[in-house]
Homo-oligomer: A and B are copies of this chain.
Amino acid sequence: MSNQPPSHGEIDLDAFRQSGYQLIDWIADYFANPEQYPVLAQVEPGDISAQLPTSPPTKAESLPDIIADFEQIIMPGMTHWNHPNFFAYFSSTGSAPGVLGELLSAALNINGMLWRTSPAATELETVTLDWLGQMLALPSDWEGVIMDGASMSNMIAIATAREALNLQIRVKGMAGRTDLPRLRLYISEQSHSSVEKGALTLGIGQENVIKIATDENFALDPTALKTAIEADLAAGYRPFFVCGTIGTTSSTAIDPLAAIADLAEQYQLWFHVDGAYGGTTALLPEMRHHFEGAERADSMVVNPHKWMFTPIDLSVLYTRHPATLKQAFSILPEYLRTAEGDAETVKNYMDYGLQLGRRFRALKLWMVIRAFGQEGLAARVREHIRLAQQFAGWVDESADFELLAPTPMSNVCFRACPPSYQAQGEAALDQLNAQLLDAVNATGQIFISHTKLRGQYSLRLAVGNIRTTNSHVESAWQLLNDTLHQIKSLT
């Protein structure tokens, strides 16, 4: 290794090798003991940036120096999604095989926009998504495309539905046209915000995203959906898309997909299933009854980066209408034409979405599926569901806590409602639970998040990290009880 860094070319590869070994060791140690860190970063806004230089370095710095700063400056500001006590949002999780997949992807550094720009990337994507479809018992004629996340998958689904209307929106746009109906789409009041964001991006407009009421289980009410569609038709709107969710974000509610499919058929709506989180549960035969009706969908999203041990990002959009998806998005400038593309003997994935640049994401998913096997993936998801349901049982039996929603998957919605507070009304309970959330998160021992259900402030404990075991869920329950006790004794 020379002391003078070269002004051209790559860095010294022996230096890369040494730092690479060091980081592999660091990651193995980190994965062995993430509990050495607080799960939620215990820093104040600006704490990290205050330690960083305000100007970029003029000269090259050594990898060991950079890695030392990573450990000393960056790490204290990380919230640890790898921590077994990360129970917030959806507790998504990577895995060691997925990390190695990302390492190889980064090294290969291809852009899989065209088959030609790496045939193996295109073909592995097709094969791996076919495997995934089999594992989830999806219809065999569906085709998948890897997207970065569910925000994109949901938007692309709506855009494809818009294209299927044959209103020439691709060519003529929507603004200032007198020949277009007002378009409306339907989600439930519990659907994920990304569906609404997709709709507003596409120029459908937030007020045309109709949020259908839900039943006592927070599942879309098909009667209310039918009423809304009829009312909109009577008022001259053009309903074109409905989204059913399998595992909503707040409470993992499961919409009645078969009933939605019936209405979608009756009113000729595009039927999209948001399974970003819950779609993974189709790995389990005992969960597949929830998916009845999904086989009639026009599109469905599932996120292996959420609950299938694949590092962020990797979402999959399946559709039975890949030709319509291509029609919505394909643009072929001369500089991207190839003989095999013109002959249509290959799939060029750039044609199936917004993004021209495509990382080699299939590689990590392929490695994860192989490293765990279908049975291993299913066993882990099944265990997470068991852990959550066990926690829900403790809540249910407790005099100080109550469930606010059913627990069909691995997320528990609950709140503290000690007898001494019950007479004080909902506002006091909301405040108590917000206080409890802040207090347990401030310990650095667990990280949970919240939502509101029927206006009530609800705590959420989502199990989904690959390292979470019985004892972690037990400790979380203990901490919640202890902290509640402290709060009560202070007031």
Q: Say whether A289 faces chain B, with CB atoms less than 8 Å apart.
A: no
Which of A105, A123, A149, A250 has its CB near the most chain B CB atoms (within 10 A)? A123
A19 touches B151 (CB 8 A): no
Q: Which residue of the partner chain, among B106, B200, B205, contacts A102 with CB atoms under 8 Å?
A: B106
Chain A residues 51-65 with CB under 8 Å of chain B are 52, 54-61, 63, 65
> How far is B338's CA from A380's CA once the two chains are assembled, in angstroms?
30
A98 & B106 in contact (Cβ 8 Å cutoff): yes
B203 touches A169 (CB 8 A): yes
- Expressed in whole angstroms, the Cα–Cα distance for A379 and B115 within the complex equals 33
Binds B, one of A20-28, A217-225, A390-398, A477-485: A20-28
A331 in contact (CB, < 8 A) = yes
Interface residue A322 (Cβ < 8 Å from any Cβ of B): no
Q: Are A127 and B23 in contact (CB under 8 A)?
A: no
A257 at the interface (CB under 8 A from B): no
List chain B residues, Cβ under 8 A from A59: 373, 375-376
From B8, B118, B375, B379, contact of A379 by CB (8 A): B8
Contact with B along A163-191 (1 / 0, CB 8 A): 00000011111111110111100000000
Interface residue A66 (Cβ < 8 Å from any Cβ of B): yes
Q: Are B149 and A23 in contact (CB under 8 A)?
A: no
A197 touches B329 (CB 8 A): yes
**Residues in B neighbouring A285, C-beta threshold 8 A:** none
A11 touches B371 (CB 8 A): yes
B66 touches A370 (CB 8 A): yes
For window 387-418 of A, CB contacts with B under 8 Å fall at none
Point out the residues of chain B lying under 8 angstroms from A335, CB to CB.
Answer: 89, 249-250, 449-451, 460
Task: Give Cα A433 to B323, complex, Å.
Answer: 33
Chain B residues lying within 8 Å of A74, measured Cβ to Cβ, are 120, 124, 363
A419 at the binding interface (Cβ < 8 Å): no
Cβ A201 vs Cβ B200 within 8 A: no
A455 CB, nearest partner CB in chain B, Å:
10
A134 at the interface (CB under 8 A from B): yes
Query: Contact at B19–A100, with CB atoms within 8 Å?
Result: yes
Supposing A103-B106, A374-B58 touch, asked if A356 and B120 sit within 8 A by C-beta, the answer is no
24 contacts between A and B (CB under 8 A): A8-B469, A10-B31, A13-B31, A17-B28, A20-B24, A20-B103, A21-B21, A56-B369, A57-B374, A58-B373, A63-B371, A70-B367, A77-B120, A102-B106, A109-B311, A151-B356, A170-B200, A172-B208, A173-B174, A175-B181, A193-B331, A193-B356, A202-B202, A249-B333
